Amino acid sequence: MTSMRTAIILLTLLALAAVPGSLLPQRNVATDPAAVDRFVMENPHLSPWLDRLGLFDVYASAWFAAIYLLLLVSMTGCVLPRCARLWRSVRSAPVRAPGNLARMEGHVEWTAHSGPASEASPQVAAADLLRDRGFRVEIHGNEVRAEKGYLRELGNLVFHLSLLVLLVGVAAGRLFGFEGRVALAEGATFTNVRSEYDAFTPSVWTDVDNLEPLSFTLDDFEATFETTGAKAGEPRRFNAALSFRTGTGSPTRVQDVQPNHPLDINETKAFLTGHGYAPVVTVRDGRGDVTFSGPVIFLPRDSTYASDGVIKAPDAVPQPLAFEGFFLPTADIDDRGPYSAFPDAFNPELFLTAFTGDMGLDDGTPQSVFTLDKTNMEQVTGEDGQPLAQALAVGETMTLPGGVGTLTFDKVARFANFQIAYDPGKEISLLAALMLLAGLTTSLSVRRRRIWLRVTPGADGAADHIEVAGQSLTRWPLKPADLDALVAALRPAPISTPLRERTRS
Amino acid sequence: MIDPTMLASLSNLLIYTAIAVYAVAFLTYAGETALRTTRRSTAPAYLGVGPGGPEPSPEPLSSEPLLPDPHDRIRQRADWLGAAGTNVTIVGLALIVTATVARGIAAQRAPWGNMFEFALVGAVALTAAYLAFLARRPVRAFGVWIVGLVLLALGMAVTVLYTPVDALVPVLNSYWLVIHVAAAITGGGIFSVGAVATGLFLVRDRADRRGPTSGRRRYADALPTSTTLAQVMHAAHMLAFPIWTFAVLAGAVWAENSWGRYWGWDPKETWAFITWVLYAAYLHAESTAGWRGRRAALFALGGYAAFLFNFFGVNLWISGLHSYAGV
Ligand code: HEM
**For residue B263, which residues of chain A lie inside 8 Å, CB to CB?**
170
Position B85, amino acid: G
Whether B5 has a pLDDT exceeding 90, the answer reads: no
pLDDT value for A366:
67
> Which residues are within 8 A (CB) of B279 and not within 5 positions of it... i.e. 6 or more apart?
B191, B237, B240, B241, B244, B299, B300, B303
Mutant choice from A6, A11, A264 vs B, greatest count of B C-beta within 10 A: A11
Contact B274 A440 (CB under 8 A): no
DSSP tag of A330: B
Of all atoms in ligand 1, which is nearest to the CA of residue A77? Answer: 29
Average pLDDT, chain B: 84
Distances (CA, A) of A490 to A109, A143, A166, B233: 11, 14, 50, 36
Residue A234 to chain B, least CA–CA distance (Å): 7
User: Distance between CA B275 and CA B92 in Å, rounded?
Assistant: 29
β-partners of residue A468 are: A108, A453
Nearest residue on chain A to B288, judged by CA atoms?
Answer: A4
A395 class by beta-carbon count within 10 Å (0-12 exposed, 13-18 middle, 19+ buried): exposed
User: Could you write out the DSSP letters of every residue in B158-195?
Assistant: HTTT--------GGG--HHHHHHHHHHHHHHHHHHHHH
A309, A293 in Cβ contact below 8 A?
A: no
Is beta strand A235-245 parallel, antiparallel or unpaired with respect to A299-300?
Answer: unpaired
| 3-class secondary structure, A474 | coil
Q: Of residues B39 and A285, which shows the higher confidence score?
A: A285
Cα(A131)–Cα(A115) distance, rounded to whole angstroms? 22
CB atoms within 10 A of CB B44: 21
Sheet holding A464-472, edge to edge: A105-112, A464-472, A449-456, A143-148, A136-140
> Which amino acid would we find at residue B47?
L
Ligand 1 neighbour B287 (Cβ under 6 A): yes
Q: Which residues of chain B neighbour A436 with C-beta distances below 8 Å?
A: 245, 249
Per-residue pLDDT of chain A (505 residues; tens, 9 = 90+): 568 899 999 999 999 999 998 888 887 665 556 677 788 888 888 988 998 888 888 888 899 999 999 999 999 998 889 888 888 888 888 888 888 888 998 898 888 776 554 456 888 888 999 999 989 999 988 899 999 988 998 999 999 999 999 999 999 988 898 888 899 999 999 999 998 998 888 888 888 888 888 999 999 999 998 888 777 888 888 999 999 998 777 889 999 998 888 999 888 999 998 899 999 999 999 999 999 999 999 988 888 899 999 999 999 988 999 999 999 999 998 888 899 989 999 999 999 999 998 887 776 666 777 888 888 899 999 888 889 999 999 999 999 998 899 999 999 999 999 989 898 899 999 999 999 999 999 999 898 999 999 988 877 777 788 899 999 888 777 888 888 888 888 877 554 555 444 444 3
When pLDDT is cut at 50, 70 and 90, the band that residue B41 belongs to is very low
CB < 8 Å to B278, chain A: 11-12, 15
Q: Whose CA is nearest to atom 6 of ligand 1?
A: B280
Cα maximum dimension of chain A: 130
Specify whether the CB–CB gap between B19 and B51 falls below 8 A: no
A258 vs B164, B170, B306: nearest CB: B170
pLDDT digits (tens, 9 = 90+) for B56-104: 444 444 444 444 555 678 888 889 999 999 999 999 999 999 999 999 9
Alpha helices in B108-164 (DSSP H): 115-134, 143-158
Strand partners, A421: A179, A269
Give the pLDDT score at A477: 79
Q: Which residues contact A392 (CB under 8 A, 6 or more apart)?
A: A349, A350, A351, A352, A398, A407, A409
Phi, psi of A158 (to 5 degrees): -60, -40
Quote the DSSP letter at residue B114: S
Burial degree of A198 (CB within 10 A; 0-12, 13-18, 19+) = middle
Can you tell me whether residue A187 is helix, strand or coil? Answer: coil
Atom index in ligand 1 nearest the CA of residue B238 equals 16
Confidence class of residue B147 from pLDDT cuts 50, 70 and 90? Answer: very high
pLDDT tens column, B247-300: 999 999 988 888 778 998 888 899 999 999 999 999 999 988 888 889 999 999
Q: Which of B176, B227, B262 to mutate to test the interface with A (most CBs of A within 10 A)?
A: B262
Phi, psi of B294 (to 5 degrees): -60, -50
pLDDT average, residue stretch B166-194: 88
In this structure, the residue with its CA closest to atom 43 of ligand 1 is: B284
SS3 A284: strand
pLDDT band at B45 (very low <50, low <70, confident <90, very high): low
Residue in A385, A374, A279 with CA at minimum distance from that of residue A326 = A279
Return left, alpha or beta for A123; rule: phi > 0 is left, psi -120 to 50 is alpha, else beta: alpha
Partners of residue A12 in chain B, C-beta under 8 Å: 278, 281, 299
Q: Classify each residue of A47-72 as buried b or exposed e, where b means 16 or more C-beta atoms within 10 Å of its C-beta.
A: beebeeebbbbbbebeebeebbebbb
Count of A–B CB contacts within 8 Å? Answer: 139
Look at B166 and A226 and tell me if their CB atoms are within 8 Å. Answer: yes
Q: What distance in angstroms lies between residue A441's CA and the mean position of ligand 1's atoms? A: 13
Question: What is the residue with the minimal CA distance to atom 26 of ligand 1?
Answer: A75
Q: What is the pLDDT of residue B119?
A: 93
A143 alpha-carbon distance from chain centroid:
54
Q: In whole angstroms, what is the distance from residue A25 CA to residue A37 CA? A: 9
Q: What are phi and psi of A248, to 5 degrees?
A: -75, 145
Mean pLDDT of B143-170: 89
DSSP A205: T
Distance B177 CA to ligand 1 centre (A): 29
Strand A299-300 to strand A199-202: parallel, antiparallel, or no bridges (unpaired)?
unpaired
What pLDDT does residue A4 have? 85
Burial of B203 (0-12, 13-18, 19+ CB in 10 A): middle
Query: pLDDT value at position A464?
Result: 83
Question: Which of A12, A231, A271 comes nearest B281 by C-beta?
Answer: A12
A4 C-beta closer than 6 A to ligand 1: yes
> Biggest alpha carbon distance in chain B?
71
CA distance B48 to B65: 19
Q: What is the ipTM of this complex?
A: 0.86
Contact B288 A170 (CB under 8 A): no
Report the distance separating Cα A10 and Cα B281, nearest Å.
9
Q: What is the pLDDT of residue A504?
A: 43
Nearest-angstrom CA–CA distance, B101 and A24 = 39
* pLDDT tens track for B223-256: 898 899 999 999 999 999 999 999 999 999 988 8
β-bridge partners, A411: A280
Angle at A420 between CA A416 and CA A421, to 5 degrees: 155
What pLDDT is attached to residue A356?
Answer: 93
Alpha helix (H) ranges present in chain B?
4-37, 72-107, 115-134, 143-158, 175-210, 219-222, 226-259, 267-286, 294-311, 313-317
pLDDT band at B18 (very low <50, low <70, confident <90, very high): very high
Contacts of B173 in chain A (CB under 8 A): 259-260
Which regions of A226-320 does DSSP assign to beta strands (E)?
235-245, 253-257, 263-265, 268-285, 290-295, 299-300, 307-313
C-alpha to C-alpha distance for A283 and A185, rounded to whole angstroms: 18
Strand partners, A374: none
End-to-end Cα distance, chain B: 30
Containing A214, the helix (H) or strand (E) segment is: none
Distances in whole angstroms, Cα of residue A157 to Cα of each of A86, A103, A162, B247, B251: 10, 31, 8, 22, 24
Q: Does residue B321 contact residue B259 with C-beta atoms inside 8 Å?
A: yes
Which B residues in the span 196-225 are in contact with A, Cβ-Cβ below 8 Å?
none
3-state secondary structure of B225: coil
CB contact under 8 A, B284 and A229: no
Nearest to B259 among A15, A30, A437 (CB): A30
CA-wise closest residue to A279 among A290, A289, A291, A294: A294
Q: CB neighbours of A494 closer than 8 A, spacing ≥ 6? A: none
Of residues B15 and A363, more confidence is placed in B15
**Protein residue with least CA distance to atom 18, ligand 1:** B284
The per-residue pLDDT for B322 is 46
Contact B260 A440 (CB under 8 A): no
pLDDT of residue B319: 57
Cβ atoms of residues A269 and A261 within 8 Å? no
Strand partners, A311: A323
Cα separation values, A392 from A199, A338, A341, A402, A449, Å: 32, 13, 17, 20, 81
**Nearest CA-CA distance, residue A12 and chain B, Å:** 6
Handedness of CA B215, B218, B222, B227 (dihedral sign): negative
Task: Determine which residue's CA is closest to atom 31 belonging to ligand 1.
Answer: A75
Nearest-angstrom CA–CA distance, A126 and A486: 7
| CA separation, residue B18 to residues A195, B4, B94, B106 (Å) | 60, 21, 9, 19
